[in-house]
Amino acid sequence: MDGEKPRVILNEFKITKNLPSSFTDAFDMKKFKKLFKVVIVRREAENYEIEFDLIGIHPALANTFRRLMLSDVPSMAIEKVHMHNNTSIIQDEVLAHRLGLIPLKADPRLFNFKVPGKKEGTEHDTLEFELKIKSSYNKEANKKDSSRAEDIYKNNKVFSKHIKWIPIGNQKEAFKDKDVGPIHDDILIAKMRPGHELDLKLIAIKGVGKDHAKFSPVCTAFYRLHPHIKLLREVEGEAAYRLQKCFSAGVIDVKEEPNGRKVAVLRSARYDTGSRNVFRYDDLKDAVIMSRIQDHFIFTVESVGALQPDEIFIEAVTILKNKCRSMLDELSTL
Amino acid sequence: MPIAQLAGSGSDDSAKSKTFVFNDEGHTLGNALRCIISSYPEVQFCGYTVPHPAENKMHFRIQMYNGRAVDALRKGLEDLEEVCTITLDRFQAELENFTGS
């Protein structure tokens, strides 16, 4: 079956194709409907990670979905910092930048984009936080005669857990305390010494990744083509182990036959990195054909944590769909 | 207004060749739309460009053998919308299937 699929073959010195490219054919909705398939392979909700396959899709469309996830799906991030007091050694602008990069837990779908030019935010487009912290000597612990900063000082490190959410308007009813705030408690923001003080008001708004990377909802969103490996002849004995080592772990198995012969067999090419180590061995390079299936995209999406990665993909496709719709509406008035 | 017509691309609405200017769009929409429209048999040429990275504009050119360029653009947008709908449906069905099992 895989023989019929368009593949790029990775030869020793060149790249060839098994079929003339099918991507130049006219786009046919019926054919797309018939051939297009989505397969979810791995979904780790607790790690905010998903791996899924889009099969039978044009690379331009696959790339569009990737680009949308990176730079068009919105999320919330700190955009403005009011410095009431900052006597720490970290400069105002550096501190503000660090705060902006802290991932926030808040469903961006429940907020509106702030209207540009409007000064005051409302409960529908803004989240407000407060960071008030002061460092001092730790009197009782110092009796232990320790020289560790943690023992001598109080609040010598400012972490993201010190950021406090201040609900505005009806936000207290609309959101629970655990739904809003930094995703990670242990992000180091600044280090302080006795007498240093921070008194900040943080204002978070909804934005998109093309404006600033801090608004991007994904850590990574990438795709790769599904690798395909074919063993052309039997490889046995020491050569079988050598062949196994040429590929990523789990790609080639060495199976022992009843008569004691050890033979290399293909288990799964999916997680092969496409390393070209086989071509180092003259006796092995004619035993395999390495290739990639041209319309089989393996997407890996890792979320920052505000949304589940499957929700991010759904959002991305919905954004493109709505874009088309609004363009069509405008075209009819043109 | 996101879509405008480039000046000098012919004021006649039935013109075969047109350049559309999309404001606030870039390679994301441009390449997806190009890949669908350029495959239509009645389209002679279809291409897009972002003339300057500092300007949020995308120029989209369609040249037809016959028929109107606007119609090809409309058909392209409709097809792209349907692709999205199909992708969403299949993904959501697969997600239900995956989390259910």
Residue that the structure tokens 């897009």 belong to: B48
Instruction: Yes or no: say if A252 and A266 are a contact pair by the CB < 8 Å rule.
Output: yes
Q: What is the largest CA-CA distance in chain A?
A: 81
pLDDT higher than threshold 60 for residue A281: yes
| Residue A124 CB contacts under 8 Å (≥ 6 apart), including other chains | A111, A112
Element of type H or E holding B64? strand B57-64
The answer to whether position A267 is within a domain reads no
> Could you please report the per-residue DSSP string of A309-322?
HHHHHHHHHHHHHH
Nearest CB partner across the interface for A64, out of B31, B77, B79:
B31
A289 touches chain B (CB under 8 A): no
For chain B, the average pLDDT equals 88
What is the distance between the alpha carbons of residues A137 and A145, in angstroms, rounded to a whole number?
Answer: 13
Cβ of B84 within 8 Å of Cβ of A64? The answer is: no
Query: Other C-beta atoms within 10 Å of B69: how many?
Result: 26
Q: Which residues of B touch A64 (CB under 8 A)?
A: 28-29, 31-32
Instruction: Yes or no: say if A50 and A41 are a contact pair by the CB < 8 Å rule.
Output: no
Strands (DSSP E) contained in A35-125 are: 37-44, 49-55, 75-86, 104-105
B88 touches chain A (CB under 8 A): yes
List the single residue in B with minimal CA-CA distance to A60: B32
- Which pLDDT belongs to residue A2? 47
Task: Return the residue in A33, A61, A313, A323 with the most chain B beta carbons within 10 A, the one to mutate for interface testing.
Answer: A323
The answer to whether position A20 is within a domain reads no
Task: Return the residue in B86, B87, B97, B101 with the most chain A beta carbons within 10 A, the one to mutate for interface testing.
Answer: B87
The pLDDT tens digits for A320-334 are 999 999 999 998 887
Cβ of A60 within 8 Å of Cβ of B28? The answer is: no
The answer to whether position A238 is within a domain reads no
Q: Which amino acid is at A83?
A: M
The answer to whether position A17 is within a domain reads no
SS3 per-residue string spanning A220-254: EEEEEEEEEEEECCCCECHHHHHHHHHCCCCCEEE
CATH number at residue B37: 3.30.1360.10
Query: Other C-beta atoms within 10 Å of A79: how many?
Result: 21
CATH number at residue A149: 2.170.120.12
Return the structure tokens found at B93: 């069905």
What is the distance between the alpha carbons of residues A75 and A208, in angstroms, rounded to a whole number?
Answer: 7
Nearest CB partner across the interface for B95, out of A26, A310, A318:
A310
Q: Which residues of B touch A331 (CB under 8 A)?
A: 3, 70, 73-74, 77
Query: Other C-beta atoms within 10 Å of A255: how many?
Result: 11
A325 touches chain B (CB under 8 A): yes
The pLDDT tens digits for A88-130 are 999 999 999 999 999 999 999 999 999 888 888 889 999 999 9
What is the number of structural domains in chain A? 1
The pLDDT of A234-255, averaged and rounded, is: 93
Q: Which residues of A touch B97 (CB under 8 A)?
A: 40
Question: Which phi and psi angles does A182 have, rounded to 5°?
Answer: -65, 145
A318 touches chain B (CB under 8 A): yes
- Which pLDDT belongs to residue B10? 54
Domain that holds residue B35: 3-99
What distance, in Å, lies between the first and last C-alpha atoms of chain B?
A: 47
A266 touches chain B (CB under 8 A): no
- Which pLDDT belongs to residue B34? 93
| Residue A216 CB contacts under 8 Å (≥ 6 apart), including other chains | A70, A71, A73, A75, A209, A304
Question: Which phi and psi angles does A297 have, rounded to 5°?
Answer: -105, 130
What is the distance between the alpha carbons of residues A309 and A258, in angstroms, rounded to a whole number?
Answer: 46
The answer to whether position A107 is within a domain reads yes
Domain that holds residue A108: 75-216
The pLDDT tens digits for A23-69 are 666 678 888 899 999 999 999 989 999 999 999 999 999 999 999 99
Query: Other C-beta atoms within 10 Å of A143: how many?
Result: 9
pTM of the model: 0.91
Return the structure tokens found at A40: 């979810």
What is the number of structural domains in chain B? 1
The pLDDT tens digits for B62-81 are 999 988 899 999 999 999 99
| Residue A120 CB contacts under 8 Å (≥ 6 apart), including other chains | none
Return the structure tokens found at B52: 């300057």
If you ran DSSP here, which 8-state letter would residue B67 be given?
A: S
Q: Which residues of A touch B35 (CB under 8 A)?
A: 27, 58, 60-61
Return the structure tokens found at A321: 């769909």
Q: Which residues of A touch B26 (CB under 8 A)?
A: 210
The pLDDT of B33-43, averaged and rounded, is: 91
Positive or negative, the CA dihedral B82, B85, B89, B91 is positive
Cβ of B88 within 8 Å of Cβ of A38? The answer is: no
The answer to whether position A137 is within a domain reads yes
Cβ of A29 within 8 Å of Cβ of B31? The answer is: no
